[in-house]
Structure 1
Amino acid sequence: MLSPVMAGVDGSAESLAAAEWAAREAVRRDRPLLLVHAWNWHPRRTDGEPSPKLPVSLEQKSAPVAAQRHLARSVLRQAEERIRAVTPGVCLTDEQVEGPAAVALLKAAEQAELLALGSRGLSGFTGLLVGSVALGVAAKATRPVVLVRKGEEAEDEHVPAGDGSPSTRTGYRDVVLGIDLADACDEVIEFAFEAARLRQARLRVVHAWQPPSAIGLGPGDIALVNEPQRAGEWQQFLSAMLTVWREKYPETDVLETVVEGKASTALVRAASAASLLVVGRRLPERPAIPRVGPVTHAAIHHVGCPLAVVPHL
């Protein structure tokens, strides 16, 4: 059985947008769509909080459980109706899972092709410190997680029509891959190439570099190479690294972009007219310390298009 494209839904506008995006992606990948709603029968507990030590009777548990199941059914039904209206050809199933949302979604996503979640973005230091279910899942998942903003629609993935109006009959906007040439990984590159192939879209590969400081130079490093030469070296490095992928995906048009500056700034700029931004996340050696990294944080905060966070070793 093919692993499904999965979407977590909670009734919010963001999660409904993620579910609709996941339905379109399931059709593109010729896979089933699984909608998942996670609920916790301890309504006052937060994710990661331990279970109460006092025993709980079946009578005490049954009423809130029944209410939660009814609410979950309503949330899933709402998402199903939206999806069947806009993507009637998708093979659709749903599932309720119990537990803290992040934990339950992480477990469910282990068997998925990818997981789509609604994202509200982050705001200032509060967002960076507190985070959200979507951010927590993206920081810990072993499968790709795609974060989708409220209001994302099928037309947003396509270039405008000739008169400038939104359309789904035009070609797809670029898929953008943010790559660190010092830490390039096959899983992330393959995900981006496959996403571009499925859309018959151009893949724009972006690498940002910054000149080394004099303090960071080691023995044998050349400090006097001018910026155009250094940029040319990065460009050659990027082209050489992508050679095998161009051969594997000969029908995919690839645009290589090497820019000087911060990676987060370069990716936010490149993703402004993209259908999808793909970034990598290294799986930590110590799972107890999950992180998505500053570039992904910046993308979650500033990028409007769907953002795929692809884990790699």
Structure 2
Amino acid sequence: MNTTWYRSVTVGVDGSEESLVALDWAARTADAHDTRLTVVSTYATPPEPGPGTSRLVEDARTQAHDALRVAMDRLDGRRPGNRTVQTVALPGTAAHVLAQLSRSSDLVVVARRRLGAFDRALLGSTSSVLAAHTTGAVAVVPEGASGGAPARIRMGAGRSEEPELWTTAFTEAVARGCPLEVLHATGSDPITDAALRRDPSADSWQGVVATAVAGRAARWSARYPGVTCTTTNPPGDAVAALLDGLTPDDLVVVGGNSHWTLTGRLLRSVSGALLRSAPCPVLVVHTHAARQTASDTGTAPESATPPPSPGARRPANLTIAPLHAGNWP
């Protein structure tokens, strides 16, 4: 089974220590998938020219190139993926540039910026903007993430088959050489949990869910026999269940759908909550309901490569964004 579906890894840096942690993660990902690493730094440009703007742009461009030099010093001559590292400085905000790049990227990976609770609630961050608006997958790497291979991958299973999600989780387990834990929480919020407790058929319904998730895991395990896969079906909130017992040595893989960032925060999306709180990298795989047919047929998709969205061309790059790229609504 082919596990090198990332065509390249692109990491955004701004010279900060947090973004260099993302660089380290990107380099390891390039090694794991035997693919190219591209290091990108962005710089702001004024919306309209005016007195002194050319000097401001030049200063910003210089800072971007300085960030690239810091990144190359960090790599210290390494050749991630056994290829020459490419560097590029691009104009624009990190969130906008990387969201545009996601149209032709397999994965956008961003470092998580430290924000206060007020900032997180009202402004969001580059990572939350990208998770909400990119067309492909997004990985968010917190500053304290482990520097080595993950000890385990925990996948949050949804109600449908979500072939992109399952493929990504198993592909990463193969590439990283670690076990996979598939988790499906049987409740989503206090109201739902209370209703289930009052429903005399709740136990049988939860049993059906557990059986369905275990069946999917068994089918996917048959396609990836080298992966040690276990399933759990804890009751209660999905976010709490996914966060329970996580360490910086783990990797979480969850599904998601593109939405306005504010909508995601108001609805308390599972992926959004994990991006803000998980101590380990979180990989959000945008799934496409129109192609969710495997759960109906009881079969896994034929290809180990996540299929492109309808009407979109095949993603080409894996992109990692800088941590300190600013806050965006």
TM-score calculated relative to the size of structure 1: 0.79
Structure 1 residues 61 and 29: alpha-carbon distance in aligned structure 2, compared to 1, 3 A threshold: same
Distance 1:205 1:65, change over 3 A: same
Distance 2:84 2:251 in 1: 23
Name 1:65's counterpart in structure 2.
57
Over 3 Å counting, the alpha-carbon distance change for 1:122 and 1:176 in structure 2 is farther
Q: Distance in 2 between matches of 1:70 and 1:268?
A: 40
Report the alpha carbon displacement of residue 60 of structure 1 after superposing the two structures with TM.
Answer: 4.0
State the distance in 2 between where 1:213 and 1:64 align: 54
The reply to whether residue 12 of structure 1 matches residue 16 of structure 2 is yes
Distance 1:272 1:294, change over 3 A: same
Q: Contact conserved, 2:156 with 2:242, CA < 8 A, in 1?
A: yes
The unaligned stretches of length 5 or more in structure 1 are 43-50, 158-171
Q: Which residue of 2 is the match for residue 3 of structure 1?
A: 7
- 1:251, distance to aligned residue in structure 2 (A): 1.2
> Cα 1:268–1:35, aligned 2, differ >3 Å: closer, same or farther?
same
Does 2:237 align with 1:262?
Answer: yes
1:233 to 197, 208, 228: 208
Give yes or no for contact 1:9–1:117 (8 Å, CA) kept in 2.
no
* Partner residue, 2:74: 82
Alignment of 1:1-313 (within 5 A): 3-42=7-46, 51-52=47-48, 56=49, 60-84=52-76, 89=82, 91-120=84-113, 123-155=116-148, 157=149, 172-181=150-159, 183-210=160-187, 223-225=199-201, 227=203, 229-272=204-247, 274-284=249-259, 291=264, 293-313=268-288
Q: 1:112 to 1:226 in 2, by over 3 A?
A: closer
Structure 1 residue 118: deviation in Å? 1.1
Q: CA deviation at 1:145?
A: 1.4
Alpha-carbon distance in 2 for matches of 1:288, 1:115? 16
> Which consecutive unaligned segments of at least 5 residues does structure 2 have?
1-5, 289-329
- Once the two structures are TM-superposed, the CA of residue 200 in structure 1 deviates from its matched residue by 1.7
Which residue identity lines up with residue 176 of structure 1 in the other structure?
A: R
1:271 is paired with a residue of what secondary structure?
Answer: coil
1:144–1:311 Cα contact (<8 Å) kept: yes
| Distance in 2 (alpha carbons) for counterparts of 1:304 and 1:215 | 29
Corresponding residue SS for 1:36: strand
CA contact (8 A) 1:122 1:301 kept: no
Tell me the C-alpha RMSD between the 2 structures: 2.9
Amino acid at match of 1:124: A
Distance 1:40 1:213, change over 3 A: closer
Larger RCO, structure (CA 8 Å, separation 6 or more): 2
Aligned residues: 278
The one-letter code of the counterpart of 1:7 is V
Contact 1:173 1:273 in 2 (8 A): no
Structure 2 distance, partners of 1:312, 1:121, is: 28
Q: Secondary structure at the match of 1:117?
A: strand
Q: 1:176 to 1:122 in 2, by over 3 A?
A: farther
Check 1:24–1:274 CA distance in 2 against 1; reply closer, same or farther (3 A cut): same
Task: Flag as ranges the 4+ runs of structure 1 deviating above 4 A.
Answer: 85-90, 211-217, 287-290
Per-residue Cα deviation, 1:196-221 (whole angstroms, up to 9, x for no partner): 0101211100110129859979xxxx
Are the counterparts in 2 of residues 23 and 90 from structure 1 also a CA contact under 8 Å? Answer: no
User: Offset of 1:260 from its aligned partner?
Assistant: 0.5
